[in-house]
A and B are shown apart, each in its own frame.
Chain A
Amino acid sequence: MRVMAQMAMVMNLDKCIGCHTCSVTCKQAWTNRTGTEYVWFNNVETRPGLGYPRTYEDQEEWKGGWELNKRGRLTLRAGGRWKKLATIFSNPKLPSIQDYYEPWTYDYETLTSSPASENFPVARAKSLISGKDMNVEWSANWDDDLGGSREHAARDVMLKGIEDKVKMEFEETFMFYLPRICEHCLNPSCAASCPSGAIYKRSEDGIVLVDQDRCRGWRMCVSGCPYKKVYFNHRTGKAEKCTFCYPRIEVGIPTVCSETCVGRLRYIGLVLYDADKVLEAAAVEDDHALYDAQRACFLDPDDPEVQRAAESAGIPADWVEAAKRSPVWALINKYEVALPLHPEYRTMPMVWYIPPLSPVVDVIKDTGHDAEDHGNLFAAIDALRIPVEYLANLFTAGDVEPVDRVLRKLGAMRSYMRDINLGRDPDDSIPAKVGMDGETMYDMFRLLAIAKYEDRYVIPTAHAEQAHALEELATECSLDFDGGPGMYESGPFGEGSGRPTPVAVENFQMLRDRQLSDTLAAPDDKSTRVNLLNWDGKGVPTGMFPPRPDAQPDVPDAGLTGGTGGQGSHPPGDRPGEDSGRGKG
């Protein structure tokens, strides 16, 4: 047993209202730069729908992820090492910018600079790729809320095989939202596809990252990832991907997408797993067995033997404690309501989903029946094959049974909690029907519906032995502080060269000022500086005018005292800057 810790996420799809706040805040934090205009580390798809990039789930076409070869061994679907090297000069399966969308901006300047005329000036859309005028025809969520439409949903790859049963009539459609980030897989095919070895899985918390200094822009990771969650920065020529907001996670706060989630539907926590079992689990023959195989890799943090193994593997005790309280572990293995997204890609994804019950509830409501009665719900789950089979295509490689089980649990929870909320006696036969007891069901309700912040996010801080840096030993480069000479500036080979931008660009100036000054909040010569806004015209501050030719240059404060003389001049010792300095501050 080789115990490793994985930072993982679960999203409760029933609560997603499709507001895209996660996407927007993520974009503002991570991909608001040139070269990443089209990049959404987090995006929210309307399902059924095409997704982003369009039809990314069609692995017959895109060849992402792993598959079993004829001998039953796990191989990259796009071809192994030699094939990768042979096709390195032009990647055969790279989505073009059109498969994502052509990013654009608007020519806002026309609005202010156009001459007066009878008609309003128009800000035309300008492509951020070519700089030319363009017609906006697609974007990251162009089919937002169009779940039932013939034009978009009908081409959804996941509807393959059940098309005949799906009625794309408006009144019979269903839809839900699917927020997606990088899955931070246990068996990441992007990392396996990278010829340079630049993509790595962090051994402490399992976060999958791209080393920007090692990436050489071969683009194989973009093709290798079946979720298409590695992007090519067309300006720097490097791959970029969701970082699980590791600078935040390391200090114990949730990712930006989770923190800002309006529906509070995201859960973050640790999962302990046995790294030795991962490959074996990813290589089980039956696609339907992958869900259980992956769960079998996870280790129970309450098991003393696991705790001992974790300790000997160097996992800190507080991390094991956090793993015990992990909401992700509870949702996956205790309540068994979370399912992986596309286990059939065999990457062992670690962002799991609680499938939505709402399509089922909506249908019952429309028929005029009581949508919260467990009998009606159970019957509907059995009868409504369409949403269930569709969900199964997403979450269990088409196996209806686990989806069925989860939806029944969610339905039972609704009925059970309705009795309690209406002051009736709780009916323990309802949880019993789905194999739970009343108390567990109530706990599950607390986690899913009340969803307190501290229950949703159980994130142990990273352990960094900081003693060395704290002691200020002279063994590190003294120029390495933020804003120091070693820091990022535009390099000689264009914007994409030189050191990468630091993670927190927004406080760059502030930090530089603070770290370059010797005093706490002000530079040394601040007392002699004058704020021109409240300078009263009396006296001549140092450095404002060039020294008079007749003034003796080596007299200190010559500028202050030797100036106009008489009334206006400040006596030596009275420092005019002090006031102005304060006024400035």
Chain B
Amino acid sequence: MDQFLWVVVPYLCLAVFVVGHFWRYRYDKFGWTTRSSQLYEDRLLRLGSPLFHFGMLGVVGGHIIGLLVPRSWTEAVGIDDHLYHYVAVIGGLLAGILAVVGMVILIYRRRTVGPVFSATTPMDKVMYAFLAVVIVLGMWNTIAGSIFTIGGEYNYREGVSVWYRSFLAFQPDAALMAAAPIGFQLHALTAFLLFALWPFTRLVHVFSAPLGYVTRPYIVYRSRDDVQLGSHRPRQGWERVGR
């Protein structure tokens, strides 16, 4: 069971994530968009969207540090566990609260503003459910696990993070995850399911963050597509004879 949950499922999800994005990009460039609903409603979005997105940027940054930087590295530069814990909890809490507040505003907006709700696809709803569960579980782990230590002391840098790095190195150690508290287990599992959903939702817009805008010239010139004029390919100049 441990092997299934912490080796098979994560790799399956990772595979779906990677192949799914590749397929979506090839098949559905036209559908690759933020699908903004700002045209319908502005006031709540103006508040909720930046809160959520900047909060999420912080959350993602925190995860990268927490999961990818080994404990030995931070100790080597003289950051002891206590200091690390302090910074991580404060930063994580701050970013998490921003994201949760933003998310609550956005979900409230999506449900109550008529045009926005009617522009919501079933896939959006599934995605929102997973995203909310993952975020709430993450907050629970931070608050209950790290601050009030409900369910005992657990240093994720010795467990989850090590497992995650072993997972990325394709030498997964399922036992580390099996030993983690249930909150962390659920958070990781739902997050992986969210990753599997990712390429099929509007979340793909994360990968079109327009960083190239900073360096490209303002005006883009492009040559006409010479392969075809208008919408039709030119017909061949003769008819086929016989079969």
Contacts and interface: CB of A to CB of B under 8 A. Distances in A.
A binds B: yes
Given A129-B115, A504-B231, A197 B36 contact: no
A447 interface: no
B97 to A, nearest CB: 17
B83 to A, nearest CB: 31
Interface in B203-239: 205, 208, 210, 212-214, 216, 218-224, 226-234, 236-237, 239
B119 interface: yes
Contacts of A497: 28, 30-31
Interface residues on A, range: 35 or more
Given A131-B118, A470-B236, A216 B205 contact: yes
B34 A237 contact: yes
B167 interface: no
B54 interface: yes
A130 B230 contact: no
A227 to B, nearest CB: 17
A493 B114 contact: no
Contacts of A81: 213-214
Interface in B17-74: 27-42, 45-46, 49-50, 52-54
A196 B222 contact: no
Contacts of A238: 30, 33
Contacts of B234: 464, 466, 469-470
A85 B214 contact: yes
A234 B219 contact: no
A513 B120 CA distance: 36
Contact of A97 (B29, B40, B243): B40
Contacts of B27: 491, 498
B30 A498 contact: yes
Contacts of B220: 191, 194, 197, 199-201
Contacts of A518: 243
Nearest to B232: A482
A217 B33 contact: yes
Interface string A182-206: 0000011001101111011111110
Interface in A500-539: 500, 502-504, 511, 518, 520
A106 B80 CA distance: 69
A120 interface: no
A232 interface: yes
Interface stretch (A15-23, A55-63, A207-215, A353-361): A207-215
Interface in A446-485: 462, 464-466, 468-470, 472, 476, 480-482
Q: Which of B123, B210, B234 has the most CB of A within 10 A?
A: B210
A129 B114 CA distance: 8
Interface stretch (A87-95, A260-268, A570-578): A87-95
Contacts of A232: 36, 39
Nearest to A249: B230
B223 A214 contact: no
A219 interface: yes
Given A94-B39, A212-B30, A491-B31, A196 B229 contact: no
Contacts of B214: 81-82, 85
Contacts of A82: 214
Nearest to B210: A195
A188 B123 CA distance: 37
Interface of A, secondary structure class, is loop
A90 B39 contact: no
Contact of B32 (A89, A131, A216, A511): A216
B34 A465 contact: no
Nearest to A245: B230
Contacts of A503: 230-231
Interface in A46-86: 81-82, 84-85
Contacts of A472: 236
A481 B40 CA distance: 37
B30 A496 contact: yes
Given A192-B219, A470-B237, A499 B213 contact: no
A251 interface: yes
B232 A504 contact: yes
Contacts of B121: 493-494
A371 to B, nearest CB: 46
B225 to A, nearest CB: 9
B128 interface: no
Interface in B166-218: 200, 205, 208, 210, 212-214, 216, 218
Contacts of B33: 215-217, 236-238, 496
Contacts of B226: 464-465
B47 to A, nearest CB: 8
A527 to B, nearest CB: 16
Nearest to B219: A191
Contacts of A234: 37, 39-40, 119
Contact of B222 (A85, A192, A195, A200): A200
Interface of B: 27-42, 45-46, 49-50, 52-54, 114-115, 118-119, 121, 123, 200, 205, 208, 210, 212-214, 216, 218-224, 226-234, 236-237, 239, 243
> Which 4 A-B pairs rank lowest in CB-CB distance, beginning with the nearest?
A497-B31, A195-B210, A247-B230, A503-B231
16 contacts: A89-B54, A91-B38, A97-B39, A130-B115, A188-B219, A192-B219, A203-B221, A204-B224, A213-B30, A235-B119, A237-B34, A470-B236, A482-B232, A482-B233, A493-B28, A498-B27
Given A81-B213, A132-B114, A498-B31, 17 more contacts: A90-B49, A96-B42, A204-B223, A216-B210, A217-B33, A234-B40, A236-B30, A247-B230, A248-B230, A250-B230, A251-B229, A251-B230, A464-B234, A496-B31, A498-B28, A503-B230, A504-B232
